[in-house]
Every structure is written in C-alpha cells, then in structure tokens.
Amino acid sequence: MSKKRDYEILTQNNFREDFSPFYGRRKGRRLSNAAKCLLEEKLSVYAIPDKTHNPIEFFSHNPEKIFLEIGFGGGEHLATEAKNHPKNGYIGAEPFLNGVSSLLRICEDNRIKNLRIWPEDIRHRMSIWPNDCLDGVFIMFPDPWPKTRHVERRIINEDNLAQLTRLIKIGGQLRMASDHPCAKNWILAGILENSNFDWLIEHPGEWNTKPESWPETRYMRKAVAEGRKPAWFNFKRVVV
C-alpha cells in the first residue's frame, strides 16, 4: 500500500463504528499543510504494522517491556517515556489527527525509534491483542464525560477494564491522571471495585503530587495554568 493511500484510509475514518465514540473530535482545528505533509510522509513509518496483532512484533529491537498510552493528545508524555527508555517499546493511540502529527514531529526531531502509533480508537485494537502483552498502560487526563447519560463513554467502564485486565501482565502498571472532580471519582471507584488492580499509595494525599518521573502532558499544563488540581493514580495489576 502506498503512503498516500495509507494516509487517505487513516484520515477518512473508514473503520467500522462498532462503538459509541468516547473521544470528542477526530479533526479539530484545520490541519496545517505541514501537519498534512507529516501525516502523509511519516505516519506509515510509525504506524503499527498490519501484518501482526502481537505488540512484541511491532518493534525490531525486541523490547524489554511494552507500554501503551491511550489518548496521547500531543504526544509529549509518550515521547518522553520512549526517549528515556530506549530498550522498551511504546505504543500510542490517538484518533485526533493534530495530536498524531504533533507526536510525529517530536519523534522525527528526537530520532525516536521505539514508538508505534495507532491513529484511531484503541478499542479496535485492544480486543485483538493477546493476553499479558503489555507491561503497562498510561491514560493521562481522559475525557471526563461527567454526565450520567455518557457513563458508557468513560474509559474506565466494565468492557475496557476487562480488556486492560487481560492485556496487562501481573505486576504491570496502570498509570492515570485527571483534573476533573467527576473523573477522579469514576477512575478511583471503577478501579477499586475491580480486584484485579491495587492502588499503589504509601502516604495519604500522595495522589495530589505528580510523581517526579512522570512526564508532563499538554492537557496537564493547561489544567494547572487554569487553576485546576490534578490527581495522580498508580495502579498495579495483581493476582486475584
């Protein structure tokens, strides 16, 4: 398949819509010509390959550990993790094309080789990957969906938690953060109700402070600048 054709398929959103969307927008602000060019030229270089559904085979360097970020936004958090840990492999999912082009720019500028992109809804992939294939998942500042009628769109719901439980190895990590009062609640309640994950917390109120090694995200900076206070959650996949 040519790069141009790849680009057209990916940007036309031709995937089956089996799920109600839980992301707000795929195309937001008009894509600049530079962003279009990057997507056309480079997305096929970083896109997860069609020929396999096993994350270990997405990389040529036999990664020590594999991490997935769901909804990477502008890609700052994922790219920093990938750059700091070159022996690992990182997969990012984000349907918002301005965000995908922003991550491609960071990868090109920093010569990041251990990162693969799924420019679509992650649910189309999670269901077909094998058990225990991930060492951790990052979900930073998920869309909050505060209204009761949108409960099913929240990323921490029964179906997605079942997939995360299946995909994350025992001992693996689920890293989350949110600045939205309602989302902080549904994240904690959803995970604590699920005995497959332990909340790693040593001191009361620890969740008020970003762990030093966790990279910042664009959304986090915006939230802090606007006076909101994020919460930081680290969960561990455990044996039940």
Ligand X SMILES: C[S@@+](CC[C@H](N)C(=O)[O-])C[C@H]1O[C@@H](n2cnc3c(N)ncnc32)[C@H](O)[C@@H]1O
Q: How far is the CB of 2 from ligand X (least distance, A)?
A: 26
Known catalytic residue at 198: no
Q: Pairing between strand 231-237 and 115-118? A: unpaired
The answer to whether 161 and 190 are in contact (CB under 8 A) is: yes
- Is 41 a binding residue for ligand X by CB under 6 A? The answer is no
- Residue where the block lists tokens 């294939």: 133
Question: Is residue 55 at the binding interface for ligand X, with CB under 6 A as the rule?
Answer: no
**Three-state SS for 44?**
helix
Pattern 125-144, binding to ligand X, x per CB under 6 A?
A: ---------------xxxx-
Q: Within 56-115, which residues bind ligand X (CB under 6 A)?
A: 70-74, 93-96, 99
What gap in Å lies between CA 50 and CA 129, rounded to an integer?
13
**Nearest-approach distance from CB 144 to ligand X, in angstroms:** 8
* Catalytically annotated residue among 109, 143, 159, 179: 143
Indicate whether 220 belongs to the interface with ligand X (CB under 6 A).
Answer: yes
Closest CA to 46 of 108, 126, 99, 97: 108
Beta-strand (E) ranges in the chain? Answer: 66-70, 89-93, 115-118, 134-140, 168-178, 197-199, 231-237
Q: Binding string to ligand X for residues 154 to 193, with x set by CB under 6 A, is what?
A: ----------------------------------------
**Contact status, residue 63 vs residue 133, Cβ threshold 8 Å:** no
**Which residue, judged by CB position, is nearest to ligand X in the bound state?**
71
Active site residues: 143
The residue ranges that bind ligand X (CB under 6 A) are 22-23, 70-74, 93-96, 99, 121-123, 140-143, 217-220
